[in-house]
Amino acid sequence: RLPVPKLEDTITRYLNAQKPLLNDDQFRKTEELARAFEKGIGRELHEQLVAQDNQNKHTSYITGPWFDMYLKAREPVVLNFNAFMSFNPDPKSEYNDQLIRATNMTVSAIRFMKTFRAGFLEPEVFHLNPEKSDTEIFKKIIRFVPSSISWFGAYMVNAYPLDMSQYFRLFNSTRLPKPEKDELYTDEKAKHLLVLRNGNFYVFDILDRDGNMLKPSEIQAHLKYILSDNGPAPAFPLGYLTSENRDTWASLRKSLLENGNEEALQKVDSAMFCLSLDDFPVKDFVHLSHTMLHGDAANRWYDKSFNLIITKDGTAGINFEHSWGDGVAVLRFQNEVFKDSTETPAISPQSQPASVDSSRAVQKLDFKLNDALKAGITKAKQKFDATVESLSLNLIQFQEGGKELLKQKKVSPDAVAQLAFQMAFLRQYDQTVATYESCSTAAFKHGRTETIRPASVHTKKCSEAFVKEPSKHSTEELQNLIVECSKYHGRLTKEAAMGQGFDRHLFSLRYLALSKGLALPDFYQDQAYARLNHNIISTSTLVSPAVQLGGFGPVVADGFGVGYQVQDDWIGCNVSAYPARNGKEFLECIYKSLEDIFSVLKGKKISS
């Protein structure tokens, strides 16, 4: 179970995170408020939270508040919450044809779904000592241990089974807009796939009456039929509505239902998933990021648990809605789909589509729109286009080293990437700001994420030495500062992964106070608390053989969204920003910071 941290630990960790962001007077005030909270109302709330947690052993203390946080948010899901991960191309280039890849990936996705629902999907396990535990012999033995104690057997060899309770929401699921708080809807009985192309909606049954998948050649035939439909794009594409403010969308959805679209919307909401087929090739990585992060809203349904997007040249990616689950569930799905569709593809470039009557099997959905709905779609499109227009996405690949070199030098690769972000921001804006790095707590029942706070007194000191006065320090002193940052970041990461951060705990205490109708404690009204939760640098990392790159929008208007990966011999960064910040310049500063860090680690002087 996810532990509720001790209140005194949470307050200490909170103050450690505040220290680099405040001057001495501000810090003194924040410390006084924190200590008063710890002794007074905070203690009472903490005891209530622990008691509540003990009565709800079937779940975790963060589950309710976290779902509420997502589902009560009224901002559009696209750019604010949805993230993307794009697939690597198929190693066999002739398989990167849109129809072939769409067929193979759809088949692999359904295979994954069927394996999961039958209870045969291999458990997700984090192996601290893979030589011992990630072996056939261990898997054979543990299989026969009753599930009530098998996790204990796994712990004995440092293998940690991860929570998989989110996985069922991958399929047949949608976030439904409702006034004030959305709902998650899942209908596992539905057997059809939703396909979007050119703003048109198509559905066809992908499972038969007995739950068996259609032959791959039939799926290929249906997708070919959809790709060759020359009908016009709708004048008022419905997809734009899912990019709206959630209350606005909720009332428009009500109008849609009242206007005779119940059956069509039911088909959209209950579909296995949404396959979005785009009619253009991808030009470069920036174009790829824009396509997968938001694309053209006419050809997306952002409320589906995920959209599998495949462009004209077979480039594929996933855009996923975030309330139902976190990156770990989506990444497992992506890894399996990539492996299965590339190693055992269902069809080949030589395969012929089945001779079936697709015009009967495939249904094109028709939506009845009145003037108010048409006006709603037009307005949504204007807002969406303006927001997307203002978003910049930029990428770099740092080729002078990566994980291998950093491990040789005994520093944490993740700590170095995070240090580079701190240095870059200091170089660009001459300040240290609230920074967020997400960390999965899936090692616990119904765990979600915890925050790592990468901006510390250590990164601030190190960044200032590198950026402001490198000539005053010897290479050895600079190396020691990097090592100091690495050790501290390693500690924060370990604490977060073990459910010992402070963010979720403080969030839950605040949620509890408000749900009890109490006045918001002074601690939460401190400007410093608000500033720490205004995450100007929001970061997330993943490395996977299936994924080319990933990214997300800034979480605040004056922020950066940083998706990054540290590979064996290179480091990649994908930065999103709105006009309040210059993402291109930030990336140049990250590049310079990485150059400096790697130079120092190799024992060289920093070039000015």
Across the range 21-39, mean pLDDT stands at 98
Query: In this structure, are residues 568 and 402 in contact, taking their beta carbons and an 8 Å threshold?
Result: yes
Residue 555 pLDDT: 97
* DSSP assignments along 540-552, one per residue: EE---TTEEEEEE
pLDDT over 90 at 153, yes or no:
no
Closest by CA to 451, choosing from 406, 508, 524, 522, is 508
Sign for the CA dihedral angle at 231, 233, 235, 236 comes to: positive
Residue 516 pLDDT: 96
pLDDT over 90 at 429, yes or no:
yes
**Which amino acid belongs to residue 526?**
D
Query: In this structure, are residues 535 and 560 in contact, taking their beta carbons and an 8 Å threshold?
Result: no
pLDDT band at 148 (very low <50, low <70, confident <90, very high): confident
Phi, psi for 231 (deg, rounded to 5) = -60, 160
Q: What are 459's two structure tokens? A: 């990164």
pLDDT over 80 at 607, yes or no:
no
Q: What are 312's two structure tokens? A: 């004209």
Across the range 79-96, mean pLDDT stands at 97
Higher local confidence (pLDDT), 141 or 572:
572
Pairing of strands 192-197, 274-277: parallel
Tell me if residue 385 falls in helix, strand or coil: helix
**Of the ranges 20-34, 94-108, 135-149, 168-182, which one carries the lowest mean pLDDT score?**
135-149
How far is it, in rounded angstroms, from Cα 224 to Cα 72?
40
How far is it, in rounded angstroms, from Cα 224 to Cα 219?
8
Residue 339 pLDDT: 98
Query: In this structure, are residues 282 and 311 in contact, taking their beta carbons and an 8 Å threshold?
Result: yes
Residue 155 pLDDT: 85
Closest by CA to 153, choosing from 163, 162, 143, is 143
**Of the ranges 135-144, 293-302, 355-364, 405-414, which one carries the lowest mean pLDDT score?**
135-144
Across the range 162-173, mean pLDDT stands at 96
Q: What's the alpha-carbon Rg for the chain, to the nearest Å?
A: 25
User: To which H or E segment does residue 126 belong?
Assistant: strand 125-127
pLDDT band at 157 (very low <50, low <70, confident <90, very high): confident
Helix axes 24-39, 7-18, angle to 10 degrees: 170
Phi, psi for 295 (deg, rounded to 5) = 60, -155
Q: Is 377 buried (19+), middle (13-18) or exposed (0-12) by CB count in 10 A?
A: buried
Q: What are 217's two structure tokens? A: 């050649």
Across the range 342-359, mean pLDDT stands at 97
Residue 438 pLDDT: 96
pLDDT over 80 at 608, yes or no:
no
Pairing of strands 537-541, 435-440: parallel
Determine which one of 46, 222, 290, 322 is catalytic. Answer: 322
CA distance readout (Å), 426 to 411, 462, 463, 600: 22, 11, 7, 18
Query: In this structure, are residues 171 and 305 in contact, taking their beta carbons and an 8 Å threshold?
Result: yes
322 is catalytic: yes
Query: In this structure, are residues 471 and 29 in contact, taking their beta carbons and an 8 Å threshold?
Result: no
Residue 543 pLDDT: 87
Percentage above 70 pLDDT, the chain: 100
Across the range 505-524, mean pLDDT stands at 97
pLDDT band at 493 (very low <50, low <70, confident <90, very high): very high
Q: What is the pLDDT of residues 498-508, one digit of tens each?
A: 999 999 999 99
**Which amino acid belongs to residue 359?**
S
Across the range 341-360, mean pLDDT stands at 97
User: To which H or E segment does residue 12 belong?
Assistant: helix 7-18
pLDDT over 90 at 232, yes or no:
yes
Across the range 6-32, mean pLDDT stands at 98
> Which fold, 80-120+171-390?
Chloramphenicol Acetyltransferase (3.30.559)
pLDDT over 90 at 100, yes or no:
yes
Domain ranges of the chain: 7-62+392-602, 80-120+171-390, 125-161
Across the range 448-463, mean pLDDT stands at 98
pLDDT over 80 at 40, yes or no:
yes
Asked, colleague to colleague, whether 80-120+171-390 and 125-161 share their fold, the answer is no
Residue 435 pLDDT: 98
SS (H, E, C) 55-83: HCCCCCCCHHHHHHHHHHCCCCCCCCCCE
Residue 545 pLDDT: 93
Residue 17 pLDDT: 98
Q: What are 356's two structure tokens? A: 């079936």
Q: What is the pLDDT of residues 261-283, one digit of tens each?
A: 999 999 999 999 999 999 999 99
Measured in whole angstroms, the distance separating CA 158 from the mean position of its chain's CA atoms is: 27
Q: What pTM was estimated for this model as a whole? A: 0.97
Residue 553 pLDDT: 98
pLDDT band at 238 (very low <50, low <70, confident <90, very high): very high
Residue 143 pLDDT: 86
- Looking at domain 7-62+392-602, its CATH class is alpha beta
pLDDT band at 128 (very low <50, low <70, confident <90, very high): confident
CATH architecture of 125-161: Up-down Bundle (1.20)
Across the range 87-115, mean pLDDT stands at 98
pLDDT over 90 at 287, yes or no:
yes
Residue 448 pLDDT: 95
Residue 147 pLDDT: 81
pLDDT over 80 at 341, yes or no:
yes
pLDDT band at 79 (very low <50, low <70, confident <90, very high): very high
Residue 551 pLDDT: 97
CA 193-196-201 angle, to 5 degrees, is 80
Task: Please count the other Cβ atoms lying within 10 Å of the Cβ belonging to residue 89.
Answer: 16
Residue 256 pLDDT: 98
DSSP, res 3: P
Residue 74 pLDDT: 97
Across the range 83-93, mean pLDDT stands at 97
3-state helix, strand, coil in the chain (%, to 5): 50, 15, 35
Q: Where are the alpha helices (DSSP H) in 271-317?
A: 285-293
